[in-house]
Structure 1
Amino acid sequence: MKQFLTFSFLGTALGYAHRKRQDGPVDSSTSPDCTWYDTALDSSYDCAYFESMWALTHEQFVSYNPSVEDDCSGIVVGNSYCVEVNYGTPLPTPTTAEPTATASPKPSPTQEGLADTCTAFYMAATGDSCQKIVDKYRTFTVDDFLTWNPAVGEDCAGLWAEYYYCVGVPGTPTTPLPTPTTTPTPTGPSPTQDGIVENCTTFYQAAKGDTCQKIVSKYGTFTQEDLITWNPALGDDCSGLWAEYYYCVGVPGSPTTRPTTSTSTSTATTSSGPSPTQTGIIGTCTSFQKAVKGDTCAAIAQEHGTFTLDEFLEWNPAVGSDCSGLQIGYYYCVGIPGTPTEPPATTTTATNPGCTSAPTPTQPGVSCSCKKWHKVVSGDTCASIQIEYNISVANFNKWNPGVGSDCSTLWLGYNVCVRM
């Protein structure tokens, strides 16, 4: 007897060094006096393994685990089985008939509200989540888990490591559900917002600073209306765009390449207009210009000198009030019926006849006492000139009132004052 107890203790010590206590589901019929468990990790864990590893007789093992038949059938891979009762010491002889167990042994600690009918338990480990536990067993759903363990909360924020949770009730399958043999429908990356179309084939992860129009411009294969239809959580004004989230940018039938466009930058005058253009462009447009690298809304207005910046924004609303939606390679309206075809005629001499030293042409209202001039070239803006010559906005507008407070009438090829 002494030799048997020593061997049993040694087996227990070895098991302690290699196994966790009860780290798999436990059948409800398992001995309620069980004090140590081992888990069947694969099909090689049979009666012979448990009985040899833990120095048990066959009668002891099946008596501790009534779910295991005398022929050793009933062992479920992943479940934990009792290999020691009453810490290895004999149980006292009962003076009365022992009642039949009506509930599973409940380990400790557990949280409040755990299902009374629970038949299988799992100790949560650091890093676990409700979904991870569900994926581990594949015999119940997240909703089932939350119902059996209400203290974890709907967001699973109350899941605590080293606590036991219910992972089975009467009727719960004891083996994982078979994996479908058909290829599942792709669900796409995560995170995504609610309502994204189910038939999405292409996704894009939004970056900080992105706008709907920037995403549309990046791909050039769909419109902003398409983007919002596929991703309704964005909202009509795109205020729901979140950085680091994935958005649908393609569905079956979406083009995979940008539309072919002409390489010419000359103005088109066809009634239907060139392509691509952005949505919302005015229907009465008679003249178009393709945006090139370095263009801004103000620069386009200045280059033509026949319309204001406000008019350009009105004809091309998709660029936005701050012009952040201007896309290279897209055509924009630069004229409607009644728009002048040439900039307003101006005098080729200084406004003040006494300013004989001023170059020509200059814009109306330029200061006669100007000491230094700058000839406007393509790509210039009021801001770029002010930076180049270290001029304040107030002084530049004071010396050159003809450019307008919004700089919409800064004309290409004309001279402006940059030093007094």
Structure 2
Amino acid sequence: MMKTSWLLSLVELALLAHKASCTNTPLLPYDPETTSDCADWFNNEHDKTCEWVRDYFKATPDEFSRWNPSVGLDCKPWYNWNSYCVITWTKVNATQTTTSTTITTSSPTSTAPTLGPSPTAWTNMGCYVEDPEMPLLDINFTPNGDPSLSVPKCWQNCYRRFYQYAGLQNGNQCWCGSYVGGEWAANQTDCNLPCTGNPSTFCGGPGLLQIYKAEENVPPATATGAASATTTTASDAKNDSGAVKNPDCGGLWANAYACVSVVGHTPGNPLPATTTTAGNSIATPTPIQPNMVGNCDLFYKVKSGDTCAIVASSNGITVQQITTWNPSVKSDCTALWLDYYICTSIVGHTPTTPGNGIQTPTPIQSGMTTSCKSFHFVTSGQTCQVITTRYGITQADFFKWNPAVKADCTGMWANAYVCVAVL
């Protein structure tokens, strides 16, 4: 019974956190002496206490009182139905410097990396159905839409504000939160609206959020990588870390510590970076993702922000070819590893000439300009005027880029993409 009560209390706390109302500008009365450097405001419309707000937004008493001069270090006076500053741009920008945490034990002090402002690993949690009564994530930082939204931009926006989850919706909205609770969409491919800032990637869908979780800033663990980094042999690693028992180092855990040196051990010289040569006499760079095809003759090193669609477009290949030649990236391309090489051509393959580098979503109407760089998904009831006003373009340009919609807009299809910007 005690265990059940404890679990329920965690759920209640998570639901309470969902009710936090935070915006870029104050929506309720506020102290005019509040710092002009405020980045986010908490609108206290749910009877939250001062202590709760400070703790929730990780603000010290000194910081909170400095940002909100009307509130003392003792949290008095405090009013409901008022707006308070909960983080400043100075603090947001200061988080760009990666920090470390000191761990004290009976042995000499060491430092271990903590989550920094820009983690290299984000896990795709899937496409979720938005609940208007209880939002999946705490805060929508772009309620009016962001005309230049991209997936990495939303990640950075959330993480710099100390949120672990980022969600993208409608192609132009970025949500952030500390907890996710909701239902997956029945069709995971429905989160298919192109991002306004990078149409080759998707930013959720109508009433749907594509949600990502920030992970620890470490590369995928491999036995070779661990040994190379410290010039420790695989034999040493297995002897010093008893749980790593398999001859192929298969017992090595990701995100856990392994011993790489003991008292009296003298490390050797750093091991040089190596390449391997396959039977086709083509040197393979390292590191590569597992199970790459053996007849690869061209390699690509994955960089931050890459997706299979981006890599395929820039190399004149298809996403299906990437997943076929690199099965470990998975068929939905959710396991593309940063700073690892993948295969982008095999012996005998002739790539197509890349176009303008922009992947065109489907479906589209016939005759759309081939130089389009930004797309809009037309929903039922939308008019040409609504779309041109939203993107700040003329109707003449809109009709020129999308001739099939006709000059009187009677030919525009719902549930199809139209061009709203060109290269």
- Structures share fold, TM-score greater than 0.5: no
Q: Which has the higher strand share?
A: 2
TM-score by length of 1: 0.28
* Larger of the two Rg values belongs to structure: 1
